[in-house]
Amino acid sequence: MGELKERMLRRQKDLAEGRHPSLELHEKDTIKWEVLYTRLLGMVQEGRETTRLISSSPTVREFGESVFCIFTPEGDVAAFSRGILLHFASFSATIKWMLNMDYEEDPGFKDGDIFCNNDPQIGGAHSADVATIQPVFYRGRLVAWVGGLTHVMEVGGTEPGGTSPSALSRYDDGLMFTAQKVGENDRFFKDYHINVSRNTRDGNWWILDDLAKLVGCVKMKKALVDLIEEYGLDYYETAVYEMIEEGRRFAVNKIRTVLFPGTYRTVNFYDVLNAEQPLRFQKDYCVHEPLEMTVTKDGRLTLDYDGLSSPGYHANNSSLICATGLHIYQLIQEVLYDGMFNAGVLGGLKVNIPENSVLNPDIQYACSIWATAKTAAGGCFQRALSRAYFAKGFREEGLASKAITSAVFAGGVDENGRLFSVVNNEMNSSGAAAASNKDGLDASNSVWNPEANLSDIEPFEPIWPLKWLGRGVQTDGGGYGKHRGGATIASLYVIEPPVKFVESGCFMSGDKVFLSAGTMGGYPAPARYRYTLVDTNFAEVAGQTDLPLPHEEGDPTDPDFARLLNGTLRRTPGQSASVQFKRYDLIYQTSGGGGGWGDPLERSPQVVVKEINRGLISPKTAERVYGVVAAKPSEDVPFVLDEEKTAGWREEMKKVRLKRAIPTREYVARARADILGGKFAPVVKETYNDCFQNSPRFLREYREFWDLPETFVGF
């Protein structure tokens, strides 16, 4: 067994058995220790910024889809940059995987080696997450690892853009390198980049990102060696483990301080609508993600996903590495944001994700659109955390369910005969979830990358044929509540110029189900969908100055683009496989809104009217959901609140609530009859049956709740 592998296994055993290092160096000279930590953070941040500034990809440069880190020789995170926090766990997993697979012996580790991984089963979330990893040597000894990762806009696969909603197995996910040595002496192998170039639609995105990441890594390596020279290797190595230990102690103490002990339960569902897509396996899925979160008085946090759905032949599975990363980035953002930014954050956390589930599939399953499984589970975790904060009195923290995000991609052959492939990450600007004391921000939020940017449209317009007719915030686009969820971004594109071929699709789920749940009386954000308008008279209308062009959706039941233009209108799911478009076709795309918080009838009527006048809430929703009566005194002036009518209408709405509601016990008795009669849609029955098979506990609790006989094993 190699020395590093032996060290890794010893350390894992020590931590599992509760043997933690002391903080001797910290206690001896705190300032020196803290300066070292800050300099490590500075290094990873500099690596990221260097890469971002020289990357050719707007996804990396504009949106900020990158992250850099420094690791211990055993693969534990010593310092982590801002960016895609999701990969906190995934980089570590790749290094540990290499050690477990005895890479020390073959291919061996040498100064200047470069390893690439985009296999989501051992690192990253999907094949578009391409990591560059290098060992760091000091006086001939491997003393650390550095790594950089970017989201690459084209990796092959069934569809352009690096992510493939029509992927039905791992083998559709695109070109993969499984922790492969791809360079020596700080140079990539020529044949590696030839491979990338010939097996992706536009290899430049991958190759240029590789070069940008290598610059960041080499810079970090040099800075780290200089730092070790300055501090001495013994001090550096001891201090790094102390930093992780300090992070662990902080995590346990913070959880104990801010979360109320108890057992919390939440559930989310997501849909995969493949039955009517142009795919070789046409089947719909309704995926069940239940969470039981336990907080103990001594600061331990356990997450149990017993009862999960099985993985499926669709793109929306998430690897275990990715699911683990999900919990870590949420914990960092929502609880441990003021702690140490290293492997210590794992200190108080235990996660149980059953094998052969959507969050832990075996190798055959596709993970291209991992984020659906992650977002649904993340919404469960977020609401459970929020209630734990709420109970403990820390109401400045906590959120309803985060929003699902989306993306539009396109590829084909441009007007000059060049292959192109682009994913536009503007749809990651979903609405943030509402909180107990504030609304969620509109078009602002990408939960796995807290330093993301919506990005300008100008860098995208020259590289793909989707041109913006409008980009804005969707009216009523967040979950209703006393504090409303942030509304989703919405864009309207027209295909222009006349390229030789263009295909386009989008992801993710949340069409037949609400995916971003509200909490404590707040409503979920609306369902997601895409409109396309094809065979249009756009050229004719655009050529006439007296005819208005559409720029937004308007009334969702009678959208502007179908009203102002001729053409064939189609509503397709929020996740739609790629199909061919032509010049002057239109695509209307949204992301997701955040869940709402609290009873909407408690929302300030003045704020509601202000938002009607800003186009964020429709007058109909103001009246039907918020109980607010407002009117325009005349056509050209804003809406004005009618306080008296509002007060009366809200009282009336409360009477209606009690009139049409029934006692819950009565509802349960009625619903039981439906269960005994099996009166559910086939896809819902299939979901229950799958989860009953996966989890004896779920089946037992189902029987107990509905008072079903022991003979009941499914529908």
Partner 1 sequence: MATRKTVWSGDVLRDLSDGNLDLQVLLEMQRGVKEDDRFEAMLAVEQGKVGWPEKILVPIGEHLYVVDKSGDKIVKCSCGHELGDYRQSWKNDAVVYVRDTEEALDEIYPGPRKCDVTWMHLREYYCPGCATLLEIEAVPPGYPIVFDFLPDLE
Residues of span 464-523 touching partner 1 by CB under 8 A: 476, 480, 482-483, 511-514, 517-523
Least CB distance to partner 1 at residue 477 (A): 9
Is 90 in contact with 325 (CB distance < 8 Å)? Answer: yes
Least CB distance to partner 1 at residue 344 (A): 13
Q: Residues 263 to 302: which contact partner 1 by CB under 8 A?
A: 263-267, 269, 271, 286, 295-297
Residue type, 581: F
Q: What does the alpha-carbon distance between residue 345 and residue 488 come to, in Å, rounded to a whole number?
A: 31
Look at residue 278 and give its three-state secondary structure: coil
Least CB distance to partner 1 at residue 408 (A): 17
Is 593 in contact with 514 (CB distance < 8 Å)? Answer: no
Which of 133, 223, 258, 422: binder of partner 1 (CB under 8 A)?
258
Q: How many CB atoms lie within 10 A of CB 280?
A: 9
Closer CB to partner 1, residue 161 or residue 486? 486
- Long-range CB contact pairs, 469-475, < 8 A, 24+: 469/493, 469/494, 469/549, 469/550, 469/551, 469/586, 470/550, 470/551, 470/552, 471/426, 472/551, 472/552, 473/442, 473/443, 473/615, 473/616, 474/553, 474/590, 474/593, 475/553, 475/615, 475/616, 475/617, 475/618
Is 421 in contact with 155 (CB distance < 8 Å)? Answer: no
Closer CB to partner 1, residue 189 or residue 390? 390
Closer CB to partner 1, residue 296 or residue 613? 296
Least CB distance to partner 1 at residue 472 (A): 17
Query: What length does the chain have?
Result: 715
* Token output for 172: 């559709």
Q: What does the alpha-carbon distance between residue 527 and residue 515 come to, in Å, rounded to a whole number?
A: 8
Q: What does the alpha-carbon distance between residue 260 and residue 189 come to, in Å, rounded to a whole number?
A: 54
Q: Which stretch binds partner 1 (CB under 8 A): 110-118, 136-144, 302-310, 621-629?
A: 621-629
Which of 498, 614, 674, 713: binder of partner 1 (CB under 8 A)?
674
Least CB distance to partner 1 at residue 80 (A): 21
- Exposed / middle / buried, residue 673 (Cβ in 10 Å: 0-12, 13-18, 19+): exposed
Which of 418, 563, 654, 697: binder of partner 1 (CB under 8 A)?
654
Angle in degrees, 0-180, between the axes of helices 664-677 and 696-706, rounded to the nearest 10: 120
Q: Across the strands, what pairs with 530? A: 572, 589
Is 396 in contact with 348 (CB distance < 8 Å)? Answer: no
Is 463 in contact with 414 (CB distance < 8 Å)? Answer: no
Q: Residues 2 to 61: which contact partner 1 by CB under 8 A?
A: none
Establish whether the linkage from the previous residue to 497 is cis, with ω within 30° of 0.
Answer: yes
* Token output for 658: 């009690």
Closer CB to partner 1, residue 517 or residue 577? 517
Least CB distance to partner 1 at residue 192 (A): 45
* Token output for 275: 């039955």
Least CB distance to partner 1 at residue 439 (A): 10
Residue located via tokens 């037949």: 512
Residue located via tokens 């609306």: 526
Closer CB to partner 1, residue 59 or residue 474? 474
| Contact flag: residue 621 with partner 1 (CB under 8 A) | yes
Q: Residues 581 to 610: which contact partner 1 by CB under 8 A?
A: 597-602
Q: Residues 566 to 585: which contact partner 1 by CB under 8 A?
A: 571
Query: Using CA of residue 701, residue 707, residue 710, residue 713, what is the dihedral sign?
Result: negative
Residue 48: enclosing H or E segment and its boundaries? helix 30-54
Quickly list DSSP for 341-385.
SSGGGGTTEEEE--SSBTTB--TTS--TTHHHHHHHHHHHHHHHH
Q: Residues 86 to 115: which contact partner 1 by CB under 8 A?
A: none
Q: Residues 309 to 348: which contact partner 1 by CB under 8 A?
A: 338
Q: Which of 275, 57, 271, 281 is nearest to 158 (CA)?
A: 281
Least CB distance to partner 1 at residue 314 (A): 16
Least CB distance to partner 1 at residue 594 (A): 14
Q: Which stretch binds partner 1 (CB under 8 A): 349-357, 414-422, 441-449, 661-669?
A: 661-669
Least CB distance to partner 1 at residue 163 (A): 23
Which of 18, 543, 663, 709: binder of partner 1 (CB under 8 A)?
663
In this structure, what is the dihedral angle of CA atoms 634, 637, 639, 640, given to the nearest 10 degrees? -80
| Contact flag: residue 254 with partner 1 (CB under 8 A) | yes
Q: Which stretch binds partner 1 (CB under 8 A): 69-77, 230-238, 343-351, 618-626?
A: 618-626
Closer CB to partner 1, residue 135 or residue 559? 559
Q: Residues 364 to 423: which contact partner 1 by CB under 8 A?
A: 387, 390-397
Q: Residues 523 to 542: which contact partner 1 by CB under 8 A?
A: 523-524, 526-527, 529
Least CB distance to partner 1 at residue 670 (A): 9
Least CB distance to partner 1 at residue 682 (A): 9
Q: What does the alpha-carbon distance between residue 694 and residue 307 come to, in Å, rounded to a whole number?
A: 6
Closer CB to partner 1, residue 110 or residue 438? 438
Which of 563, 624, 632, 697: binder of partner 1 (CB under 8 A)?
624
Closer CB to partner 1, residue 311 or residue 477? 477
Closer CB to partner 1, residue 58 or residue 600? 600
Which of 610, 680, 689, 712: binder of partner 1 (CB under 8 A)?
680
Which of 37, 63, 145, 702: binder of partner 1 (CB under 8 A)?
702
Q: Which of 343, 324, 424, 429 is nearest to 381 (CA)?
A: 324
Q: Residues 223 to 252: which contact partner 1 by CB under 8 A?
A: 250
Closer CB to partner 1, residue 269 or residue 448? 269
Q: Where are the beta strands (DSSP E) in 127-239?
A: 129-138, 141-151, 180-184, 187-188
- Exposed / middle / buried, residue 108 (Cβ in 10 Å: 0-12, 13-18, 19+): exposed
Closer CB to partner 1, residue 263 or residue 356? 263
* Token output for 86: 């999701």
Closer CB to partner 1, residue 231 or residue 390? 390
Taking residues 427 to 456 in sequence order and writing x for each that binds partner 1 by CB under 8 A, - otherwise, the string is: ---------xxx------------------
Least CB distance to partner 1 at residue 337 (A): 9
Least CB distance to partner 1 at residue 347 (A): 13
Which of 16, 31, 637, 662: binder of partner 1 (CB under 8 A)?
662
Closer CB to partner 1, residue 110 or residue 265? 265
Least CB distance to partner 1 at residue 100 (A): 35
Least CB distance to partner 1 at residue 273 (A): 10
Least CB distance to partner 1 at residue 328 (A): 20
Binding-site residue total for partner 1 (CB under 8 A)?
Answer: 91
Instruction: Mention every residue, 6+ apart, whose C-beta is less than 8 A from residue 342.
Output: 76, 77, 78, 79, 80, 243, 244, 247
Q: Which of 247, 187, 186, 253 is nearest to 222 (CA)?
A: 186
| Contact flag: residue 707 with partner 1 (CB under 8 A) | no
Q: Residues 181 to 200: which contact partner 1 by CB under 8 A?
A: none
